[in-house]
């Protein structure tokens, strides 16, 4: 294609509604951008004036797939303000609940949303007749993640068990123990599926340099809390986030775009965690990485599907570890005195690092709020990747380029919905 434009009129399965546009002139890409036209949802606005303890349940409504990510960052922000630290078994229960979310979200993305692209199917519905066992196994793995969330949060969609200071109630060890054999079976199944994926998935030759940014914990693979780490040497506390990162509004999008304060884009998500904290993965997860053929330094975003499976193995192994060591705490939460203050926290949603900042008055009411999800942070990187990807593949037939663009966009797991088609791509020729 020498001249023309590639227009993706509607992108489904992102956090809202959007489109993708590429303009080609004289055989070169001269413009490439995402348009996000979903109306603003105003979560930060309507949190103002609400009681600080309500924020945990309100922010969970931002996403039906990763509500715990929002609960984690919002509760820890409030706990910083109140001067308390959730530790010990209460912290381990939070990690366990979060691991359930990672399992169900990763499995949903890998097998039900992304694998059909690589295997040449329009959707998992079309894939199921040819691969019924894989689809059945994936649904079983997803249910396991959901059941962990239900056990600790009361339900898998917008769970209600989490609160500032801990939980509303905590389980007996006997309620968690039955999950262990299911998790052990899940590890074996994940390794088996990983072996299958590694053999059949073919990845485009697409690598470039990124600044990978993720949460960093001194002893754990990052999920619940920690500092902020970059592959280019950044190592800061969450309170320093806004001195090093910014959000910009662009005319074509209602969603803000995250960048370093220098203006440079950066990349959050599974590849960032994997590259920045590989040494903290469990033995089984490192085995899965070897089977998959991925190692620290991986920079092909198409291989994110494999890294998500590696993280799923880690999540199952870590969940077993937590359950086996669990001793029911005497209290389900930590008591505190309400005070005014400003608190920030970061957490690792399945799709990448999430940042929350709140100011609370002396009555415990929210004065202001800032929430930065992974999708907003990755938008500039996604645009740059898509521009380069189209540039490298302008000689492809139009239907092939459409298919490859679908896979490219889905790499980032922007968000999840029940839409059948990911995008519709039309190529308009310049006369």
* pLDDT tens digits, 203-255: 889 999 999 999 999 999 999 999 999 999 999 999 999 999 998 887 766 66
235 alpha-carbon distance from chain centroid: 21
Q: What is the pLDDT of residue 233?
A: 96
pLDDT exceeds 80 at position 18: no
**CA neighbor of 152 nearest in space, from 54, 67, 63, 59:** 67
φ, ψ (nearest 5 deg) of residue 332: -80, -15
Q: What is the pLDDT of residue 41?
A: 67
CA dist 242 to 46, 211, 271, 358, Å?
22, 17, 23, 13
- For all residues of the chain together, what is the average pLDDT? 87
Residues 115-139: what's their mean pLDDT? Answer: 89
Phi-psi region at 244: left, alpha or beta (left = phi > 0; alpha = psi -120 to 50): alpha
pLDDT exceeds 60 at position 427: no
95-99, 107-111, 174-178, 355-359: segment of lowest average pLDDT = 107-111
Cβ count near 227 (within 10 Å): 17
The DSSP element (H or E) to which 372 belongs, if any, is strand 366-372
Q: What is the DSSP letter of 393?
A: T
Question: Model-level pTM?
Answer: 0.90
Angle at the Cα of 83 from the Cα atoms of 82 and 88, rounded to 5 degrees: 115
Q: What band does 9 get if pLDDT is binned at 50, 70 and 90?
A: low
Higher pLDDT, 428 or 289: 289
> Residue 205: helix, strand or coil by DSSP?
coil
Higher pLDDT, 362 or 33: 362
pLDDT exceeds 60 at position 266: yes
Burial-class residue 330 by CB neighbours within 10 Å (0-12, 13-18, 19+): exposed
Q: What is the pLDDT of residue 218?
A: 96
Alpha helices in 83-131 (DSSP H): 88-107, 115-119, 124-127
For 264, how many CA atoms within 13 A lie in the half-sphere containing its CB? 11
Q: What band does 24 get if pLDDT is binned at 50, 70 and 90?
A: confident
Q: What is the pLDDT of residue 418?
A: 20
44-53, 241-250, 416-425: segment of lowest average pLDDT = 416-425
By percentage, how much of the chain surpasses pLDDT 90?
A: 64
Q: What is the pLDDT of residue 413?
A: 80
Higher pLDDT, 397 or 16: 397
Q: Tell me, which fold does domain 43-378 have in CATH?
A: Cytochrome-c3 Hydrogenase; chain B (1.10.645)
Q: Going by C-beta distance under 8 Å and a sequence separation of 6 or more, which residues neighbour residue 276? A: 212, 214, 216, 222, 229, 230, 231
Q: What is the pLDDT of residue 319?
A: 98
Q: What is the pLDDT of residue 296?
A: 96
Residues 191-200: what's their mean pLDDT? Answer: 87
């Amino acid at each position: 294609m020498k001249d023309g434009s590639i227009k993706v009129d509607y992108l489904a399965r992102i956090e809202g509604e959007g489109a993708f546009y590429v303009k080609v002139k004289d055989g070169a890409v001269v413009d490439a951008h995402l348009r996000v036209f979903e109306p603003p949802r105003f979560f930060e606005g309507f949190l103002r004036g609400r009681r600080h303890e309500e924020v945990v349940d309100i922010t969970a409504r931002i996403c039906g797939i990763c509500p715990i990510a929002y609960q984690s960052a919002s509760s820890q922000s409030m706990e910083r303000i109140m001067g308390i630290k959730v530790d010990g078994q209460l912290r381990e229960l939070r990690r366990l609940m979060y691991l359930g979310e990672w399992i169900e979200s990763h499995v949903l993305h890998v097998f039900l949303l992304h694998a059909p692209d690589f295997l040449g199917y329009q959707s998992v519905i079309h894939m199921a007749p040819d691969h019924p066992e894989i689809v059945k196994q994936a649904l079983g793995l997803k249910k396991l993640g959901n059941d962990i969330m239900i056990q600790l949060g009361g339900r898998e969609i917008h769970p209600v068990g989490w609160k500032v200071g801990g939980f509303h109630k905590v389980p007996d060890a006997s309620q968690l123990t039955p999950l262990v054999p299911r998790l052990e079976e899940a590890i074996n199944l994940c390794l088996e599926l990983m072996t299958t994926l590694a053999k059949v998935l073919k990845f485009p030759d697409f690598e470039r340099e990124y600044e990978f940014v993720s949460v960093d914990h001194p002893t754990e693979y990052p999920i619940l809390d920690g500092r902020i780490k970059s592959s280019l040497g950044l190592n800061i506390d969450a309170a320093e986030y806004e001195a090093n990162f910014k959000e910009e509004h662009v005319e074509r999008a209602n969603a803000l775009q995250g960048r370093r304060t220098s203006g440079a884009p950066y990349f959050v998500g599974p590849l960032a965690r994997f590259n920045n904290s590989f040494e903290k993965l469990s033995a089984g997860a490192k085995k899965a990485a070897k089977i998959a053929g991925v190692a620290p330094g991986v920079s092909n975003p198409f291989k994110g599907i494999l890294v998500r499976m590696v993280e799923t193995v880690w999540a199952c192994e870590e969940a077993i570890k937590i359950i086996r060591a669990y001793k029911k705490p005497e209290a389900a939460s930590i008591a505190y005195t309400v005070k005014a203050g400003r608190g920030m926290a970061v957490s690792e949603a399945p799709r990448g690092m999430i940042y929350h900042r709140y100011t609370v008055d002396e009555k415990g009411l929210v004065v202001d709020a800032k929430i930065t999800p992974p999708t907003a942070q990755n938008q500039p990187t996604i645009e740059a990747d898509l521009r380069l990807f189209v540039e490298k593949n302008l000689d492809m037939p139009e239907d092939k380029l459409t298919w490859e663009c679908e896979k490219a966009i889905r790499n980032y797991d922007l968000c999840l919905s029940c839409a059948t088609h990911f995008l519709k791509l039309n190529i308009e020729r310049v006369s």
